Amino acid sequence: MSWYVIDVIDKAIERTKACLFEPFDIMKWLKLAIIVFFIGGSGGFNSGGNGRYNTSGGEPDLSWIPDSFTDSMSNLSHHLSSYSDTTLFLVIALLLMLLFLLAIILGYIGSTMEFVLVDSLVSNDVRVREYFKKYMGKGLALYILRLILLLMFILILVLVSLPFIFMISAGDSGSSGALGIVGMIFVIIIAVLVLAIILGIIGSFVNMAIPVSMYQGSGFFSAIGNVFRQFRADWKQIVIYWIGRGVLGIAVAIIAGILGLIILVILLLILGAIDLGLYFILNMLLPGTILWSLLISVVVVELLLLSFASAMIRMPFSVFMKYHMLGFLELWYPLKMPMFDEHYRVPGSGSDQWIEEAMIPDE
């Protein structure tokens, strides 16, 4: 018996090469990186901190902090203390509301970009604005589903933790309280692992439902039901797909992580040198408050650039994994996708009309 998850690896590599390198188009790379940037997900590269802590007691040594920075922080603290508690509370509440609204907007954009990425890879023609407008409704459905799953995840964790919280609050600070804390941590870890596996399985159905809803003309939630019915009819391929996909994902993540870490460290060193040079130059020209306000703004811009650079680095790997999923779906699900390497566009026809390669006469 042939396992589709293995069979489509070579095809996914060929399609990735054709999409990104045949020919190489920097604008296509930038557009795909923008899509991957908004999608986000687990493909980001993060390096852990290596802080040093003084455990010998006494006052910490703050002599390395520039005087202009401490003066700016003192001025800011004095300025904030001049406002009433009510005013500060309203300002903080407004900032939190703005962050919440920004998270909602970015989450919706990321969900819609999932459809944009699929259409871009299937057609090998990246049109971000056109595809975004086309799939706004389906993107909203995906975003609602993700919010529901997130709320369920949080609710289950809270329900699992409640008995231990009551045990800790009812007990004393001795062995009973310590036992409750250890038990709560252990149960939460187990619950997170189990929920992560369940969400991963649900996520595989959701990812397959995206192209199904696009190319079958069905609603997004109906497409999820169709994928689940196909799973009941051919569950063995999906089980092997989950295993193979996990192994492949780990291998790709290791390669992408090493490459991304090297590139981002180099970029951090370059940007750090630039920031240091800016500090010494501007420190002679500007007062402390203006200097640090300007430097903080520069750092924020640099963080955004690093985030986009991370998206650019992981983009080829995301494209490969998406092509792998689409290739599996072609073999496993009765769906005809207008894949760019298997179909030709009908001359003078609409964008959704395609003909088979075999129908083109030999010249």
pLDDT in tens, 226-259: 999 999 999 999 999 999 999 999 999 999 999 9
Q: Is the pLDDT of residue 50 over 60?
A: no
Token pair in block for residue 7: 């069979």
- Does the structure show a pLDDT above 90 at 110? yes
Mean pLDDT is highest, among 160-174, 192-206, 276-290, for 192-206
Distance between terminal CA atoms of the chain? 38
> What would the pLDDT profile of 147-197 be if each residue is shown by its tens digit?
999 999 889 888 887 877 777 676 555 555 666 677 778 888 888 898 888
pLDDT of residue 75: 60
Query: pLDDT tens digits, residue range 53-70?
Result: 344 444 444 445 555 555
CA atoms within 13 A on the CB side of 282: 18
Q: Which tokens in the block code for residue 114?
A: 């999932």
Determine the pLDDT at residue 57.
Answer: 44
Q: Would you say 23 and 264 are in contact if contact means Cβ atoms under 8 Å apart? A: no
Mean pLDDT over the full length of the chain: 81
Cβ atoms of residues 76 and 175 within 8 Å: no
Cβ-contact 39, 113 below 8 angstroms: yes
Percent of the chain whose pLDDT exceeds 70: 77
As a whole number, mean pLDDT of residues 16-37 equals 93
| 115/213 Cα distance (integer angstroms) | 10
Least confident of 29-33, 129-133, 288-292, 343-347: 343-347
What's the pLDDT score for residue 360?
35
- At 108, the pLDDT band (50, 70, 90 cuts) reads very high
